[in-house]
Structure 1
Amino acid sequence: MDIKVERGWPTPEELAAVVALVRARAMALAQDDGPAPEHRSAWSDPARTVPGAPRRPGPDAWRTSAWRA
């Protein structure tokens, strides 16, 4: 892993701290702990309850007029 200092003059301690943080983050992302998230059905999706665009008149307006947004 190469780290290049673009600006400034970090002390060896500051540079070591940054390298330690980057390595710790990379190790955490590399680990695959825990089960995969469960698939949620469309009925339990909270986005389903968000009101959408208002209904427009059209060929099926009589059917969609009873739907709640």
Structure 2
Amino acid sequence: MNIKVVRGNPTPEELAAALAVVRARAAAAAAVPSGVEGPRDAWSDPSRIAAARVHRPGPASWTRTYWPS
């Protein structure tokens, strides 16, 4: 594995910290069996968005029909 510093002048401690993070992420990715996805992030779950935007009819429902862009 090669890491190239493109900009700046990091200290040896900063390089060691960055390398530790990269190695830990690589080890975690290698530990997951192939073809199996890791745990889903709640922010990327489409059901979270759909559940939050369900509007019910009512006297003021016309105010919720406008979607600003």
Q: TM-score range by the shorter chain?
A: 0.3 to 0.5
- Give the structure with the larger helix fraction: 2
Larger Rg: 1
TM-score where L is the length of structure 2: 0.47
TM-score where L is the length of structure 1: 0.47
- Greater relative contact order: 1 or 2 (C-alpha under 8 angstroms, separation 6 or more)? 1
